[in-house]
Amino acid sequence: MATLRRAPPLLFPAAAKHTATVIFVHGLGDTGYGWAAAVENWRRRQKLDEVKFILPHAPRIPVTCADGMPMPGWYDILALTGKTEDIRAQQDEAGILVSREYVNGLIQAEIDSGIPANRIVVGGFSQGGALSLFAGLTAKVKLAGIVGLSSYLPLDSKFANFVRESDLNHDTPILMCHGDSDQVVPVNFGKLSFEMLKSQGFKATMKLYPGMGHSACLEELDEVEAFLRARLPPEDDKKSEL
């Protein structure tokens, strides 16, 4: 694979002392700036003041389902027909693994800067959510949580082999959210991934949003904020209890 040109991530420093980090990964054709408004809204509400947000930008790659047109993507999508079987049938394993290593590098950089792995959450939307689920569940460190919005678990037929290499996140809380009118990533695919994870003993929760398509809504973003607050409570709270 040719060397990928990557822009540095969009960073939102913690408003208070930096004790935790959220890495949030955008979807196909988007950039980290697409989720800046959501992060800014969470920051305004001042419930995640100790959290630094990292919004990475995918490199531009030719995307098969768009007739090879280059666009920001974490891996190639061969078919995007709205059918589960088409997404599952042909998956860009090499591209997924390259992007997993990139996410792993972001996680390790935070650890190297002094943030413990159990104070790091990885999440994303659509293709970014799929990558976050895969990278988070096969990470070589134990994370605080994993979020997948309007997404699915990629390489699910081989997942058991990948997780066997590193199964540190079997009891890491996972939040999956999906609109029940999604015409891009079918809600049934999201449910299939959720049910597979539950059947294997992973700590997954799934929230469905009636009438929502392949997008996000305020209720969902509030749910994500509550999950982040629960997984990354301010360390000042712990000190005040002593």
Q: Which of 126, 132, 150, 151 is catalytic?
A: 126
Q: Is 57 a catalytic residue?
A: no
| CA neighbor of 1 nearest in space, from 127, 131, 95 | 95
Angle at 90 between CA 84 and CA 93, to 5 degrees: 115
Distances (CA, A) of 114 to 18, 59, 213: 10, 27, 39
Distances (CA, A) of 169 to 38, 144, 173, 201, 226: 26, 9, 8, 11, 20
Helical (H) or strand (E) element with 188: helix 187-199
Q: Which of 26, 57, 178, 214 is catalytic?
A: 214
Q: Is 156 a catalytic residue?
A: no
Q: Among positive and negative, which fits the CA dihedral 150, 155, 158, 160?
A: negative
Q: Which of 30, 76, 92, 182 is catalytic?
A: 182
Annotated catalytic residues are: 126, 182, 214
